[in-house]
Amino acid sequence: MNSTYTSVKLILGDQLNRFHPWFEKVDSEVLFVMMEVRSETDYVKHHIQKVVAIFDSMRKFAGELKSNGHHVHYILINDSENKPTITENLKSVCSKYAVEELHYQLPDEYRVDQELMQLENNLKIPVHSSDTYHFLTSREEFGEFFKGKKSFLMENFYRHMRVKHQILLEAGNKPLGGKWNFDQENRKKVPKNHLIQTVGLLTKNVSDIVDEIKNSGIETIGEIAPTKFTWTTTRKEALELLENFVTDALLLFGTLQDAMTEHHWYLYHSRLSFALNVKLISPLEVIKRVEKAYFEHPELYELNQIEGFIRQILGWREYMRGIYWSQMPAYSELNFFENERALPSWFWTGKTKMNCMKHTISQSLEHAYAHHIQRLMVTGNFALLAGIHPDEVDNWYLGIYIDAFEWVEITNTRGMSQFADGGIVGSKPYVSSAAYINKMSDYCGNCQYSLDKKIGENACPFNSLYWNFFDEHTDKLRSNPRLGMMLNVWNKMPANDKAAIISQANLYLENIETL
Ligand code: FAD
Ligand code: DLZ
Ligand code: SF4
């Protein structure tokens, strides 16, 4: 280490992109700074596995930079010099090394963006920002694409991205297979007697980091088995996970992507979201690898598996980021249905009689993971039907999932799942009764509630809450063309039946803690 440095370059915990131009050459006048910092560990109560995964990834990334000859100043969570915020830590590092200028990569979260924009003021040295060279769309490009259009639409954006990056196309920029989207084929339940053969789990020992986190006093949620940690925290592990996914799980990814079962917590999903979000692996390399599998082995892979997977990353992931930067900060205040109820306390324990909720919450606490349909159509569905305040819902999702960073959490939760944005992200609220959950899962068979009953003893809460939702929000839903049919069904129901359903829903809402 030198006693002085010309410049400091800040690397945040989700900026672990080894191919960033910053790392092309070793420069002994540059000091890279990484920090485990209370403002980031404490802005929400995170799952213990998420904090472990971030710290482990950061430490290994710093180790790799050092072994390549870069100068790195790494602040550990329990270091005596550690200050509570990014700004304060930078202030003390810059003064210790008489630093003349500071560089940072544009952060993914609005909160941190605001803090970093004040650095020049606070540090009194020139401050420069640069791209992270990770996403496929810049913050501004998304706004330009939708300029002058009446509403956002993922499908249009996705087609644009397919052409822009030349993914799954044939001559004349036509979609391979004649269709842009094969979603219709991706709605199957796990067949009876199907043996789930998917990617195995890597496990490693993270006991030391767990102890350090415990000693630091950081409050966390969820469980951890410190000697059997399953998340990828290096680029090498992420690449291995991608390879194993392509070989073992991609074959059925699309077909069973919406399916849910008590017997497996990730099925044919990739579990790549953490590695992607902290930038150990890039979206384009994942997309290209999956496309290559198809081109090399069209006899093995069906197009619906490949297109379904690529759409999540090339379409949804970039789209959510675009919405985030075009709508923040107002987005975080939106509450279209004016919901006010508190989240029931069993969201933090999984202790509920509703088997679908018990299962999804318990696995989230155990693994910091649930797949998309569990998040959307079980916990998210319930929260919306029960009228939970979107702040409470966001807080839960932002804390509990391994991959939760506000830019992708809030757009999925407040937007897609809670429709609190009134239709910016999606064109309809995702609500369902027990029928959908039963169609896509094996949860209902083992439930104390009866999936066929709307009212009476043991009637499934999703059923009465579903119709109650239409009743309560008729005015707001009337103009939505995608919900007209269900509103008509509700409106045509005999008055006595409607009254019984509403009173059942109210009974459940009054006793929400005991459901
Ligand atoms: P796979 O099913 O294997 O999909 C592959 C990749 O596609 C994912 O790794 C992810 O990068 C991307 N992807 C898939 N769906 C989406 C989506 N809707 N938006 C953005 N990217 C997507 N994803 C997060 O990364 N962070 C979050 O905080 C987050 N919160 C969510 C909250 C709710 C209410 C819902 C409904 C979805 C949320 N998602 C979030 C999206 C999705 O559920 C996760 O990306 C996915 O479950 C991660 O698991 P996987 O890597 O196995 O994904
Ligand atoms: C999520 C997170 C956590 C829990 N801890 C840290 C940390 O100690 N240091 C750090 O640099 N980053 C952490 N992160 C990720 C940041 O919250 C993330 O970089 C910002 O939110 C910007 O997206
Ligand atoms: Fe969930 Fe209702 Fe099915 Fe029970 S019956 S698992 S509460 S949908």
Q: What is the dihedral of CA 82, 86, 91, 93, to 10 degrees?
A: 50
Q: What is the pLDDT of residue 479?
A: 86
Rounded to the nearest angstrom, the distance between the alpha carbon of 52 and the centre of ligand 1 is: 20
Give the architecture-level CATH label for domain 345-514. Orthogonal Bundle (1.10)
Pocket of ligand 1 (CB under 6 A): 269-273, 276-277, 312-313, 316-317, 320, 371-372, 375-376, 380, 397, 401, 403-404, 408-409, 412-413, 416-417
Q: Whose CA is nearest to atom 1 of ligand 3?
A: 356
Taking residues 326-336, report their average pLDDT. Answer: 97
Q: Whose CA is nearest to atom 6 of ligand 2?
A: 40
CA gap 42, 421 in Å, rounded: 26
Are the C-beta atoms of residues 304 and 251 closer than 8 Å to each other?
no
CA gap 350, 398 in Å, rounded: 17
The owner of tokens 């940690």 is 229
Rounded to the nearest angstrom, the distance between the alpha carbon of 360 and the centre of ligand 3 is: 12
Q: pLDDT grade, residue 316 (50/70/90)?
A: very high
Answer whether residue 145 shows pLDDT above 90.
no
Rounded to the nearest angstrom, the distance between the alpha carbon of 87 and the centre of ligand 2 is: 13
Can you give the residue ranges of every domain in the chain? 7-130, 141-198+249-327, 345-514
**Per DSSP, which regions of 164-283 are E strands?**
169-170, 174-175
pLDDT tens sequence across 390-412: 999 999 999 999 999 999 999 99
Taking residues 503-511, report their average pLDDT. Answer: 98
Q: How far apart are the first and last CA of the chain?
A: 59
Q: What is the pLDDT of residue 392?
A: 98
The owner of tokens 């506000």 is 406
pLDDT tens sequence across 350-387: 999 999 999 999 999 999 999 999 999 999 999 999 99
Q: What is the pLDDT of residue 187?
A: 82
Where does 141-198+249-327 sit in CATH, by number? 1.25.40.80
Pocket test for ligand 3, best of 354, 357, 374, 455 (most atoms within 8 A of CB): 354
Taking residues 49-76, report their average pLDDT. Answer: 98
For the chain, the maximum distance between any two Cα atoms, rounded to a whole number of angstroms, is 81
Q: Please indicate whether the domains covering 141-198+249-327 and 345-514 agree at the CATH topology level.
A: no
Q: What is the pLDDT of residue 140?
A: 85
CA gap 172, 164 in Å, rounded: 13
Taking residues 478-491, report their average pLDDT. Answer: 90
Q: What is the pLDDT of residue 230?
A: 97
Beta strands across the sheet bearing 101-105: 71-75, 30-35, 7-10, 101-105, 127-130
Q: Does domain 7-130 have CATH number 1.10.150.120?
A: no
Q: Which of 25-39, 121-135, 173-187 has the lowest mean pLDDT?
A: 173-187
Taking residues 3-30, report their average pLDDT. Answer: 98
- Calculate the CA 258 to chain-centre distance: 16
Residue with the larger pLDDT of the pair 144 and 12? 12
Ligand 3 and 443: CB distance under 6 A:
yes
